[in-house]
């Protein structure tokens, strides 16, 4: 693979950012210039500097003369080329940027599918009369991320094209769980009962029991025990027979967490551990810092990030997006590691993936999580758990200390 030097990268960016209506000297040939720019962008795409690049717009006649050599250049760099006759129009660029003209898309798989899907999604929004506000802005942002623009540049382009920036929630804060702050009056009974983790369905089941007038004389402990039995049956209905056997063979004295190395301790334990967590929101990513294992996760706010060449880890590779104020995180590239579904422990397969949905209350003081694990090897369907935190002003994360006790049961 060729190495793109700082000098050649600077030249690439300079060429590509020249305006279409530049002034050519008498010795400059427009077609040669365009082919040179295509070669520069093709190199940038081929080595991963960009996932998608666009040629300068050209008339259909100009593109007829350009396409053959353009395809040859792309093939030389091992990338794909697509003749686009109807470029996706978003608020990143002026509406008429390619009106009546065509462009070449230079891409790495599966970027073309992402681009075409984005066009289709925009068309559906227009058809349903929902192409406005957050939905419209998100189409532009996703296109910008496909083109490799950092969030700050996307912001600048949107502002330059008259888009008023929408207020976005910030999750940046330290958050405490009921497991370490039981005395806070803002917890609900369900929060406290589920402080060690509940499935979404069992959490709703418990709430229904609590608010049923028929249970006014029943203790919360009895309602909780009822919920536990309900959840055991629910979990049993989801887990495949081979996994049930794995759970039966579980030996607590050899639990992955007891030897003070986090490697066998999976993402679900990290998500739901009682110690405090901290969110640090940046322009292009969210950092989640955990007291538990002193772990740090990067949530990339960029759906153009691909995963095939990323080494699997216990916390995986996470890509997020904000949908109507909710932070949605998709995590893949996980190594097989331990999970506990209401105390039922087993190891997830390599096929497992997680979806997290973080929702903050309007006053910014409460953070709720719905996390879903999908593992076709071990589970008949998705399992969704819930978790809640309260904002903890003035708190700081402490260093996690652990003393190995494996085998001491």
pLDDT, one tens digit per residue, over 65-86 is 999 999 999 999 999 999 999 9
Could you tell me if residue 400 is inside a domain?
A: no
Looking at the structure, tell me whether residues 148 and 192 fall in a common domain.
no
Higher confidence at residue 88 or residue 405? 88
Q: Phi and psi dihedrals of 204, rounded to 5?
A: -65, -35
Peptide bond into 110 cis (omega under 30): yes
How far apart CA 76 and CA 365 sit, in angstroms, is 55
Looking at the structure, tell me whether residues 142 and 193 fall in a common domain.
no
Could you tell me if residue 409 is inside a domain?
A: no
Cβ neighbours, 10 Å, residue 185? 4
Looking at the structure, tell me whether residues 215 and 362 fall in a common domain.
yes
pLDDT of residue 2: 34
| Residue 314 reports pLDDT greater than 50 | yes
Contacts of 279 (CB under 8 A, 6+ apart): 171, 172, 173, 175, 286, 287, 288, 289
Looking at the structure, tell me whether residues 233 and 183 fall in a common domain.
yes
Looking at the structure, tell me whether residues 71 and 207 fall in a common domain.
no
Higher confidence at residue 22 or residue 293? 293
Looking at the structure, tell me whether residues 385 and 262 fall in a common domain.
yes
How far apart CA 402 and CA 58 sit, in angstroms, is 63
Q: Which among 85, 88, 14, 89 is positioned nearest to 44, based on CA atoms? A: 14
pLDDT of residue 308: 56
Could you tell me if residue 165 is inside a domain?
A: no
pLDDT of residue 250: 75
Looking at the structure, tell me whether residues 197 and 329 fall in a common domain.
yes
Could you tell me if residue 286 is inside a domain?
A: yes
pLDDT of residue 70: 93
Could you tell me if residue 26 is inside a domain?
A: yes
How far apart CA 114 and CA 120 sit, in angstroms, is 10
Could you tell me if residue 405 is inside a domain?
A: no
| Residue 184 reports pLDDT greater than 70 | yes
Report yes or no on whether pTM surpasses 0.75. no
Higher confidence at residue 55 or residue 344? 55
Instruction: Name the pLDDT band for 195 (thresholds 50, 70, 90).
Output: confident
Looking at the structure, tell me whether residues 155 and 10 fall in a common domain.
yes
How far apart CA 360 and CA 363 sit, in angstroms, is 8
Domain boundary among 160, 189, 222: 160
Looking at the structure, tell me whether residues 294 and 339 fall in a common domain.
yes
- Provide the pairing of β-strand 296-300 with 317-323: parallel
Counting beta carbons within 10 angstroms of the beta carbon of residue 352, is it exposed (0 to 12), middle (13 to 18) or buried (19 or more)?
A: buried
Instruction: Name the pLDDT band for 12 (thresholds 50, 70, 90).
Output: very low
Instruction: Name the pLDDT band for 318 (thresholds 50, 70, 90).
Output: very high
Domain boundary among 116, 138, 160: 160
Number of domains the chain is built from = 2
Q: Which among 44, 46, 42 is positioned nearest to 72, based on CA atoms? A: 42
CB 281 within 8 A of CB 297: no
Mean pLDDT of 333-338: 91
Could you tell me if residue 361 is inside a domain?
A: yes
| Average model confidence (pLDDT) across the chain | 85
Give tens-digit pLDDT for 205-230.
999 999 999 999 999 889 989 998 99
Give tens-digit pLDDT for 94-144.
989 999 999 999 998 889 999 999 999 999 999 999 898 878 888 998 899
CB 320 within 8 A of CB 328: yes
Higher confidence at residue 16 or residue 227? 227
Could you tell me if residue 406 is inside a domain?
A: no
Mean pLDDT of 254-277: 84
Q: Which residues pair with 271 in a beta bridge?
A: none
Looking at the structure, tell me whether residues 76 and 217 fall in a common domain.
no
pLDDT of residue 167: 57
Residue 352's domain comprises 173-391
Looking at the structure, tell me whether residues 125 and 184 fall in a common domain.
no
Q: How much of the chain, in percent, has pLDDT values that exceed 70?
A: 88
How far apart CA 308 and CA 296 sit, in angstroms, is 22
pLDDT of residue 150: 78
Looking at the structure, tell me whether residues 339 and 252 fall in a common domain.
yes
Domain boundary among 126, 160, 194: 160
């Amino acid at each position: 693979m060729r190495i793109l030097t700082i000098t050649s990268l600077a030249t690439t960016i300079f060429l590509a950012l020249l305006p279409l209506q530049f002034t050519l000297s008498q010795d400059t040939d427009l077609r040669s210039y365009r082919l040179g720019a295509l070669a520069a962008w093709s190199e940038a795409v081929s080595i991963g500097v960009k996932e998608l690049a666009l040629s300068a717009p050209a008339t259909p006649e100009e593109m007829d003369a350009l396409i053959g050599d353009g395809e040859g250049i792309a093939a030389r760099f091992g990338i794909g080329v697509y003749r686009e006759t109807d470029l996706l129009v978003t608020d990143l660029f002026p509406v008429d940027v390619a009106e009546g003209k065509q462009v070449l898309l230079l891409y790495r798989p599966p970027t073309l599918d992402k681009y075409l899907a984005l066009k289709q999604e925009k068309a559906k929004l227009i058809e349903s009369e929902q192409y406005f506000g957050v939905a419209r802005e998100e189409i532009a942002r996703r296109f910008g991320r496909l083109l490799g623009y950092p969030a700050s540049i996307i912001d600048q382009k949107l502002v330059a094209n008259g888009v008023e920036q929408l207020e976005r929630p910030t999750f940046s804060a330290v958050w405490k769980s009921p497991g370490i702050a039981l005395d806070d009056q803002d917890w609900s009974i369900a929060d406290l009962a589920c402080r060690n983790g509940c499935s979404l369905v069992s959490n709703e089941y418990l709430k229904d029991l609590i608010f049923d007038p028929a249970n006014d004389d029943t203790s919360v402990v009895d309602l909780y025990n009822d919920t536990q039995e309900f959840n055991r049956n629910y979990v049993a209905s989801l887990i495949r027979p081979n996994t049930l056997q794995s759970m039966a063979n579980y030996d607590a004295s050899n639990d992955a967490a007891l030897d003070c190395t986090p490697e066998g301790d999976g993402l679900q334990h990290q998500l739901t551990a009682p110690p405090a967590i901290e969110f640090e929101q940046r322009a292009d990513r969210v950092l989640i810092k955990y007291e538990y294992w002193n772990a740090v996760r990067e949530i990339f706010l960029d759906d153009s990030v691909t995963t095939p060449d990323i080494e699997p880890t216990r916390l995986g590779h996470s890509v997020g997006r904000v949908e109507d104020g909710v932070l949605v995180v998709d995590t893949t590239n996980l190594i097989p590691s331990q999970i506990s579904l209401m105390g039922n422990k087993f190891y997830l397969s390599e096929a497992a993936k997680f979806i997290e949905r973080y929702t903050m209350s309007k006053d910014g003081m409460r953070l709720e999580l719905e996390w879903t694990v999908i593992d076709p090897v071990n589970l008949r369907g998705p399992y969704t758990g819930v978790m809640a935190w309260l904002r903890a002003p003035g708190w700081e994360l402490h260093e996690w200390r652990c003393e190995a006790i494996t085998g001491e049961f």
